[in-house]
Homo-oligomer: A and B are copies of this chain.
Amino acid sequence: MPQQPSPAKPTIGDVAAKAGVTKATVSHAFSGRRPISEATKARVFAAAEDLQWLPSASARALATSRANAIGIVLARDPAILASDTFFPAFIAGVESVLADAEVALVLQVAGSREAEERAYRAMASGRADGVIILDLHRADWRVPYVHQLGLHGVVLGAYDAPSPFTCVRTDDATPMAEMVDHLRGHGHTRIAHVAGPLDYVHSHVRSQAYVAAVGSDDLLTEGDFGAGSGRDRTAELLARPEPPTAIIYANDTMAIAGLSYARSIGLSVPADLAIAGFDDDHLSAHLSPALTTVATDPTERGRVSATALLADIAGEPARNIELDCTRLQLRDSTRTAPIPQGEEGR
């Protein structure tokens, strides 16, 4: 039989009484914000232990005007959210630093711009001290909005204006250029790119890097990160009069769907078509052929973002953090040069 739910929750006053001191002493014994003799400290801890006292988070929040929590508002379509390998790994990184700091994470999923604003206002109303802004758009309205709400913040991505917040950036252009080089090295000349939604900063940057590297946007097309769009864009590309011999996808989900489609119409990978993704999904290394991709270490980015946000909340000035966390994972899906089919080689 489980114990009774505690009859009446003990307060700091009860602990103080039991230890024969005042509330202030109890408070300071725990916070260490002023020296307390070892003797009384011991009595206080014993009393607290005895009463199973848990300091009230809301009372503390009210007294200090600090929520001791940070927030993340997810604006993604739930379907896309579910197909996302980035998010859980990112959260894991964030939590790993929050846990030590005794800071909580408040999550909110918003389906519309209005809901999103409501969510940020809720955060600002004392649920969170700051927020991490993800999935940065170009000229993202959330940066000034969040700032004006008086929240602290950190931006994951390269904000395209002077930012009041720390930006945690990754170099998305280089791995794309490297990937194109890698494919060229295997003899490919018609290399396509299925981008993510181009209003995302990172999608945009990558597609720009792609265009710069291949020198044309003829084989550039836009997906939505979902498996369905990976298949559809692939079908369209392969139906062209001059189909690509290699495709770089903006994420592994689309790449895997594309790979499966290519196979289903009788192409062999990488012999007929080379396939590369982005993200290094947990499955990618275990497919056959294993998928060439770009690992982007979401967990590390989560750790760094959370650390930066806590620093911002602690009053440190905003700064720019450039993360070097992308790694090309060359695997079998791009390793063999394709057999040029009735084409004048290169």
The chain A residues found within 8 Å of chain B, CB to CB, are 2-6, 9, 54-59, 61-62, 65, 67, 69, 78-79, 81-85, 87-89, 91-92, 95-96, 99, 102, 104-110, 115, 121-122, 124-127, 143-144, 147-150, 164, 226-228, 230-231, 253, 256-257, 260-261, 263-264, 282-283, 285-288, 298-299
Contact = CB atoms under 8 A, between A and B. Distances in A.
Given A9-B150, A144-B2, A286 B256 contact: yes
Given A9-B150, A88-B82, A164-B2, A257 B286 contact: yes
Contacts of A148: 2-6
**Per DSSP, are chain A's interface residues mostly helix, strand or loop, or mixed?**
helix
A189 to B, nearest CB: 27
A150 B125 CA distance: 26
B282 A261 contact: no
Contact of A256 (B4, B79, B107, B287): B287
Contacts of A2: 143-144, 147-148, 164
Contact of A253 (B122, B150, B283): B283
A104 B102 contact: no
A54, A83, A88, A127 interface centre (most CB from chain B within 10 Å) = A88
